[in-house]
Amino acid sequence: MYTLDELKKMVFIDIETTTQTETFQELADQNPRLEDYWKEKTTYLKEQNRTELAEIKDYHEMWPRMAGLFPEWGKIVCISIGQIKFDETGMPTSFSAKSFYGDDEAQIMKDFMKTAGAIMQKYPDMKWVGHNVKGFDLPYIIKRALVHRVPVIRSFHLHKQKPWENCLIDTQEVWKFGNWSGSARLGLIAEVLDIPTPKDDMAGYQVNQSYWEGGNNERIKDYCEKDIEATANLMLRFAGMGIVDDVPF
């Protein structure tokens, strides 16, 4: 389904996000006008997720659970990118990753955009691959870059591009194979296709708590890098090739 040449022109990407402040009250103290907006958002979320969020009593409780999923209320604490390495015979041998992470989101945005710009200038046909990268990762990155007034590289001006002409490959869409509603979470697809997945004691929804506990930036970075390697292995499976399994999870 994908050729060796296509796989060589793929950068795998994933982000980890948290709430902008540890508690909603901290944000409200900074800008009281945001309180009504968050109350409105909380009401909407509870209506859309009646069962999942049934135990949530008020908008303060909703904050650590959901706010990090939305760029208006959350922030990026890690962006990981990586590529598959192949030997001279075209067999995948390893996976190379680079991460931009820490407490300074503005610096994360600057460093990432500088690297992404250099990649696209040298390799204009490079594809950025992620699971729900079209619906979550890249839009989130773009919006947070705008918040910090960090220029967004031209290749990421997605609002000006036709969906089939942009530089993104979304493995969530690929897994649908033409079905409107036939996709699944990355972890489930990996399990079905016998792809190693992260076995850390942290799941995606625990990133926020881990971040605000302090001292866990490296742990979050490792978690993010393992996700992009799992995505890379997914694309290798789609290509009918062996996976990169020399780096144990």
Compare 196 and 224 and report the one with higher pLDDT: 224
In a domain, 247, yes or no: no
Q: Are 99 and 78 in contact (CB under 8 A)?
A: yes
Q: What is the pLDDT of residues 114-169, one digit of tens each?
A: 999 999 999 999 999 999 999 999 999 999 999 999 999 999 998 888 877 899 99
In a domain, 245, yes or no: no
**Residues 116 and 205 reside in one and the same domain:** yes
In a domain, 121, yes or no: yes
Domain count, the chain: 2
In a domain, 249, yes or no: no
In a domain, 85, yes or no: yes
Q: Are 86 and 93 in contact (CB under 8 A)?
A: yes
Determine the pLDDT at residue 48: 84
Determine the pLDDT at residue 87: 94
**Residues 26 and 68 reside in one and the same domain:** yes
Q: Are 101 and 221 in contact (CB under 8 A)?
A: yes
**Residues 67 and 87 reside in one and the same domain:** no
**Residues 99 and 195 reside in one and the same domain:** yes
pLDDT class of 249 with cuts at 50, 70, 90: very low
Strands 10-19 and 127-130: parallel
> Does the structure show a pLDDT above 60 at 98?
yes
Q: Which residues, other chains included, contact 245 with Cβ-Cβ below 8 Å and sequence gap of 6+?
A: 196, 233
The share of the chain scoring above pLDDT 70, in percent, equals 96
**Residues 108 and 190 reside in one and the same domain:** yes
**Residues 139 and 47 reside in one and the same domain:** no
**Residues 60 and 145 reside in one and the same domain:** no
pLDDT class of 51 with cuts at 50, 70, 90: confident
pLDDT class of 197 with cuts at 50, 70, 90: confident
**Residues 12 and 123 reside in one and the same domain:** yes
> Does the structure show a pLDDT above 70 at 247?
no
Determine the pLDDT at residue 95: 95
Q: Edge-to-edge strands of the sheet including 127-130?
A: 92-101, 74-86, 10-19, 127-130, 168-170
**Residues 92 and 66 reside in one and the same domain:** no
In a domain, 114, yes or no: yes
The DSSP 8-state label assigned to residue 135 in this structure reads I
Determine the pLDDT at residue 248: 44
**Residues 91 and 60 reside in one and the same domain:** no
Domain that holds residue 134: 4-16+80-238
48: tokens are 């859309």
Its pTM stands at: 0.93
In a domain, 198, yes or no: yes
**Residues 120 and 212 reside in one and the same domain:** yes
pLDDT class of 38 with cuts at 50, 70, 90: very high
- Rounded mean pLDDT of the chain? 92
In a domain, 213, yes or no: yes
Q: What is the pLDDT of residues 80-94, one digit of tens each?
A: 999 999 999 999 999
Buried b (16+ CB within 10 A) or exposed e, 84-119: bebeeeeebeebebebbbeeebeebbbbbbebbbeb
Residue 155 belongs to a domain with what CATH number?
Answer: 3.30.420.10
Mean pLDDT throughout 188-216?
84
Rounded to the nearest angstrom, the gap between the alpha carbon of residue 116 and the centroid of all alpha carbons in its chain is 15
**Residues 114 and 190 reside in one and the same domain:** yes
155: tokens are 């290749």
Q: What is the pLDDT of residues 204-244, one digit of tens each?
A: 778 999 999 998 999 999 999 999 999 999 999 999 999 99
Last residue of a domain, one of 72, 89, 112: 72
Determine the pLDDT at residue 69: 95
